[in-house]
């Protein structure tokens, strides 16, 4: 009898917990939309949010060639390392140049951070990144002007993709958290549909490394060329968005810290040696794309790292549980969001040694971070995947693309989705009622 009660309680709690986690059950009409979209159920769905810098495009190219992932949408954050006019169009242009012009929808996103850190990215750097693909002194590619962004904005696309995906969706954030923070603020029920959040950046340094926890008001604009390591632009360009996302209740957050990213330099000697050793001949455009960054922005090779690309590969390593991956050591840490002008940041994010320094701190967020890497494993995996040209996530016909299906299916069932049309809402099949039915059934018929 005791065992039966425990069993009953467990079943009940599992269902109630399910009800709480997936707190907003879909209405009947919304379920029709979900079925109509006809999502591929065999691969891990993913949304990539990007500031469209060149290292983001390397990362996107890599992920599109990973067989276990289905990229449902790419959304652009327009407050980072590209100017608003270029952020979305550069992603579209790049996708077209690698043969993925129809397979993945690109939603254009927020142009301003929730709170600006006051940090200004050098206009010279932005100019070089914006025109990286087309400039005659860089890759000299022509643009297909008929490319179109998604009919949904970045924030709508994030909310609707999470809502209608049949299974939780992983999110890879390669720029600031602005789009995701806004999406979560507008509809908190999407949080439960986020699988794991992967972030490129973050500064997980000990609290003791912050020399001051008060903003230094004499410093207003921090110049790019005075940035010191391991500062993380993706975090501090919108630290408020990052704080909101991190404390929203997402089940698991994984980050590739800025400091670890700096252990992966773009070493052209190593790159060409690896290509030779692996007998890989990349297409000229692709080879230029991954090897010309220093030349195109008038910098030196030693300034160049693989940056966001390493966050993408870390994600794949974690998703596939690959113990042979390039990240040789991970660590579980707790992070705090603090106001600080230290390390060229008005607002800071850090703290690993909380146990000693802040035993009672609230607002700490758990992260899994990568702390050690192997650059030869990294490079071999990157080159193998981009050379494969499989473009798994680009296989959809335009009409079957996730955002296009989403739009069609929403139009088809549109009248039913209106909140006033309660008749079609299937209240009695919500997890709460299902659990009551089950409880009654088990109690009366099995007892
Ligand atoms: C750039 O491309 C155009 C047309 O494809 C070509 O005529 C021109 O010579 C190229 N410029 C450079 C610097 O390669
Ligand atoms: C913290 O400070 C120490 C001493 O200044 C330095 O060696 C270390 O690299 C710093 N750690 C981080 C993560 O910034
Ligand atoms: C604030 O920054 C200025 C300029 O770098 C520096 O001279 C000053 O010492 C800093 N003040 C504090 C309290 O750290
Ligand atoms: C670049 O790679 C080559 C070959 O792997 C290596 O010998 C060299 O030390 C590397 N250079 C730097 C700056 O890491
Ligand atoms: C390298 O690849 C080419 C075709 O891409 C092939 O013809 C050649 O035999 C390969 N060489 C080695 C040493 O594997
Ligand atoms: C490149 O940088 C050097 C040194 O910083 C500068 O003298 C030169 O004018 C720059 N060239 C361009 C095209 O910006
Ligand atoms: C990953 O590996 C761990 C330990 O080896 C195991 O417990 C876990 O179930 C694995 N996860 C997946 C998704 O394979
Ligand atoms: C943490 O909280 C406990 C219990 O409230 C208290 O005894 C302890 O002094 C606190 N520690 C610090 C460092 O504040
Ligand atoms: C974070 O991890 C610690 C253990 O490292 C755990 O005690 C705590 O409950 C976790 N917090 C959340 C919000 O998951």
For the stretch 103-150, pLDDT in tens is 999 999 988 888 776 677 888 889 999 999 999 999 999 999 999 999
Q: Is the per-residue pLDDT at 327 higher than 90?
A: yes
C-beta of residue 183 within 8 angstroms of C-beta of residue 190: yes
Please report which confidence band the pLDDT of residue 20 belongs to, taking 50, 70 and 90 as the band edges: very low
Q: Quote the pLDDT of residue 35.
A: 95
Atom index in ligand 4 nearest the CA of residue 301 equals 13
Q: Do 113 and 178 touch, CB atoms closer than 8 A?
A: yes
pLDDT at 117: 66
CB atoms within 10 A of CB 65: 21
Q: Is 133 exposed, middle or buried (0-12, 13-18, 19+ CB in 10 A)?
A: buried
Q: Residue 210: what pLDDT?
A: 64
Which band of pLDDT confidence, cut at 50, 70 and 90, is reported for residue 357? low
What is the rounded average pLDDT for all residues in the chain?
A: 85
Residue nearest to atom 3 of ligand 1 (CA): 140
Beta bridge partners of 335: 365
The stretch 198-227 carries a mean pLDDT of: 62
pLDDT at position 110, please? 86
pLDDT at 230 over 70: no
Q: Which CATH number fits domain 26-425: 3.60.40.10, 3.40.50.12780, 3.30.1490.20, 3.90.245.10?
A: 3.90.245.10
Which of the pair, 106 or 6, is modelled with greater confidence? 106
Give me the residue spans of the domains in the chain.
26-425
Q: What single-letter DSSP state applies at residue 422?
A: G
Residue 37 alpha carbon to ligand 4 centre in Å: 49
CA–centroid distance, 354 to ligand 8, in Å, is 13
How many whole angstroms from 91 Cα to the centroid of ligand 1?
Answer: 22
Ligand nearest to the CA of 275: 5
- d(Cα 154, Cα 182) in Å, to the nearest integer? 10
Q: Which ligand is nearest to the CA of 137?
A: 1
Which mutation among 355, 359, 362, 364 tests ligand 8's pocket best, with the greatest number of atoms within 8 A of CB?
A: 359
211 pLDDT tier (thresholds 50, 70, 90):
low
Report the pLDDT value the prediction gives residue 78, as an integer from 0 to 100.
86
Give the ligand 3 atom nearest the CA of 216: 1
CA of 249 to the centre of ligand 9 (A): 12
Q: What residue's CA is closest to ligand 8, atom 3?
A: 360
* pLDDT at residue 342 is higher than 80: no
Nearest to residue 242, comparing CAs of 89, 367, 424?
Answer: 367
pTM of the shown model: 0.85
Counting residues of the chain whose pLDDT is more than 90, the rounded percentage is 62
Q: Which ligand is nearest to the CA of 319?
A: 7
């Amino acid at each position: 009898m005791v065992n039966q009660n425990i069993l009953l309680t467990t079943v009940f709690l599992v269902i109630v917990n399910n009800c709480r986690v997936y707190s907003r059950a879909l209405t009947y009409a919304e379920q029709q939309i979900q079925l109509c979209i006809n999502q591929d159920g065999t691969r891990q769905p993913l949304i990539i949010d990007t500031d469209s810098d060149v290292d983001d495009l390397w990362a996107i190219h890599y992920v599109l060639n990973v067989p276990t992932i289905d990229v449902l949408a790419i959304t652009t954050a327009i407050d980072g390392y590209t100017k608003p006019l270029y952020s979305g169009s550069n992603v579209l242009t790049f996708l077209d140049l690698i043969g993925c012009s129809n397979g993945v929808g690109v939603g254009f996103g927020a142009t301003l951070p929730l709170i600006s850190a006051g940090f200004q990215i050098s206009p010279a750097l932005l100019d070089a990144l914006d025109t990286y693909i087309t400039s005659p002194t860089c890759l000299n590619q022509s643009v297909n002007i008929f490319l179109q962004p998604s009919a949904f904005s970045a924030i709508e696309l994030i909310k609707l993709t999470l809502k209608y995906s049949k299974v939780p969706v992983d999110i890879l954030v390669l720029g600031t958290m602005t789009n995701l923070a806004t999406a979560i603020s507008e509809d908190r029920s999407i949080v439960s549909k986020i699988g794991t959040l992967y972030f490129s950046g973050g500064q997980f340094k000990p609290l003791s490394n912050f020399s001051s926890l008060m903003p230094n008001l004499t410093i207003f604009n921090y110049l790019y060329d005075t940035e010191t390591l391991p500062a993380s632009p993706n975090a501090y360009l919108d630290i408020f968005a990052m704080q909101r996302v991190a404390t929203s209740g997402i089940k698991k957050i994984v980050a590739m810290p800025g400091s670890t990213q700096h252990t992966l330099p773009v070493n052209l000697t190593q790159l060409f040696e690896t290509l030779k050793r692996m007998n890989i001949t990349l297409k000229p455009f692709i080879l230029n794309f991954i090897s010309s960054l220093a030349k195109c922005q008038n910098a030196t090779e030693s300034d160049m790292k693989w940056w966001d690309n390493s966050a993408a590969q870390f994600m794949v390593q974690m998703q596939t549980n690959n113990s042979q991956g390039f990240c040789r050591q991970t660590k579980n840490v707790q992070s705090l969001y603090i106001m600080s002008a230290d390390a060229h940041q008005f607002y800071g994010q850090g703290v690993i040694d909380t146990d000693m320094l802040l035993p009672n701190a609230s607002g700490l967020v758990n992260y899994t971070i990568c702390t050690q890497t192997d650059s030869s494993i990294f490079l071999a995996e990157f080159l193998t995947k981009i050379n494969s040209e499989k473009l798994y996530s680009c296989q959809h016909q335009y009409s079957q693309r996730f955002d296009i299906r989403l739009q069609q299916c929403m139009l088809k069932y549109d009248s039913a989705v209106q909140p006033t049309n309660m008749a079609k809402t299937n209240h009695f099949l919500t997890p709460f009622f299902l659990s009551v039915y089950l409880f009654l059934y088990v109690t009366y018929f099995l007892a």
